[in-house]
Amino acid sequence: MDTKLSLLRLASDLAAHATARQSVIAENVAHADTPGYRARDIPGFAEAMAEPTGF
């Protein structure tokens, strides 16, 4: 049972990460023509999960 919960937690974290990344990309596209705007990105899912705080 614990394995299923861990898998669901991982899937939930992956979905949250994908949502956050999509939001950042949408912001980059929206500001593509803004003078001086610098595109942003967030770390990949594996990198974010490797940090002590997780995602």
pLDDT one-digit tens code per residue, 5-54: 889 999 999 999 999 999 999 999 999 999 999 999 999 998 888 877 65
Looking at the chain, list the stretches that DSSP marks H as alpha helix, in order from N- to C-terminal side.
2-30, 45-50
Q: At a CB cut-off of 8 Å and minimum separation 6, what does 9 contact?
A: none
pLDDT value at residue 23: 98
Residue 48 contacts residue 54 (beta carbons within 8 Å): yes
pLDDT value at residue 54: 54
Q: Under DSSP, is residue 33 helix (H, G, I), strand (E, B) or coil?
A: coil
Task: Say if residue 1's pLDDT is above 90.
Answer: no
Q: How many CA atoms lie within 13 A of 52 on its CB side?
A: 0
